[in-house]
Chains A and B, each alone.
Chain A
């Protein structure tokens, strides 16, 4: 009887050993917890994009549907000849710019359902925080478009009344604003802009800021700062490529102050 008992034990242990071995022999995938995203509102676009990209490909779970497959509109590459998401987003809904469109599509997914797809997406605000959603919007904009999300967007959320849905019950905490008044002229010096662009009068290297606001809109100015090769001012074509594309690292609030200042130079 001992022999029988031992052989039963051997069969049971053997079975378990085989199952455990097989389960350990296959690729081991662990589903990690998405990192908490804490961004202050002087975040740089580069940081936003990086955070958004990580969420998009990881904890946000976006790629489950918005990969290269057919479950949902393709957000990584061109979708049905309409271009990358960053460029097509602005043309999707009249009256909504790219940023608004993307954000609405995430928190109210059925608002602008893309033709040919079923309304299967869930409100992203159930799984993601406001900062995370904005980071993903920034990342999507960066795919073929220009990032216009700033820290101000998610700082605003505390006050803005939600469009339908549950009203946040938590009292609004003090918003982390910029540390002090933003002096654009001081910023232009700090970020060495003034080395090439004179604030008034003849400019050392690049076009002067004087009267720039009458030629360019704020959006164009922002574009030119973030992507200096995007366009060249008249008579400055030869200088194209000299301005380094490093100003995306300026905190968004400060960048915005700079942009508004330049736009006001009429």
Chain B
């Protein structure tokens, strides 16, 4: 090769493919947060789809002019037939099948993870629930204890309730790392996580504590939540107290009802 690799079509093609892979695998995940836009790792199937498109594009580019196509093929051809390239050729002949074999192995290898399933982490709460035979309208419901009694007292009481009932799973640091936590899938929620209780109103938290895993609505299935329904074991006041404890201890502010209305897109 006389020309520099990045001037040669083969080298350019390789660079584009690698750059595209870096962009799809890490760029989409890590770049938008720099500009304050939320992002997340891209699922492997989507990366595969994008890479397929890019590879097709690159092949179109190298072959749409006769001259470039010849240039592109030349080094490949040379490696395939030139006696002096025997070492490289043999190396490729060994590594490429090995690579394919490894990828195949990696795909079919049995893993411990459960099959993919769709689930809604924060299902829409019902408008009202039946709590110990009483109807509670959740919509617009505030924690009544925030306006009556001594907040400090509620906090202390909530702490006692938490330690007695919740700590084994949700952990003493409210991080979802209790003694039993590793036995469950889905794992107990970490209340420290900025994606959990801070996104929710206190009435939602009340609902989840009261009704637990068995009370999840249909759209939240499949759901193997081990969370018990606490309504038979705790009174409404106790649940509100433990809710106060959750928010006070983590330092999060509960979502208020005024913020409601920013619904997601359809589909």
Contacts and interface: CB of A to CB of B under 8 A. Distances in A.
Contacts of B218: 57
A68 B219 contact: yes
Interface stretch (A78-86, A113-121, A180-188, A196-204): A78-86
Grouping DSSP codes into helix (H, G, I), strand (E, B) and loop, the B interface class, with mixed when no group exceeds half, is loop
Interface string A142-178: 0010000000000000000000000000000000000
Chain B, interface size category, equals 10 to 19
A36 interface: no
B50 to A, nearest CB: 14
A78 B266 contact: no
Nearest to A57: B218
B133 A81 contact: no
B219 A78 contact: no
B139 A81 contact: yes
B145 interface: no
Contacts of B263: 70
Interface string A40-73: 0000000000000000010000000000111000
A105 interface: no
A104 to B, nearest CB: 23
Grouping DSSP codes into helix (H, G, I), strand (E, B) and loop, the A interface class, with mixed when no group exceeds half, is loop
A78 B133 contact: no
A70 B217 contact: no
Counting chain B CB atoms within 10 Å of each CB, which of A68, A69, A77, A229 scores highest? A77
Contacts of A84: 126-128
A57 B127 CA distance: 19
Contacts of B219: 68, 76
A78 B45 CA distance: 37
Given A81-B139, A84-B127, A144-B128, 16 more contacts: A68-B124, A68-B219, A70-B263, A76-B124, A76-B219, A77-B126, A78-B127, A78-B139, A79-B127, A81-B140, A83-B128, A84-B126, A84-B128, A87-B128, A230-B133, A240-B133
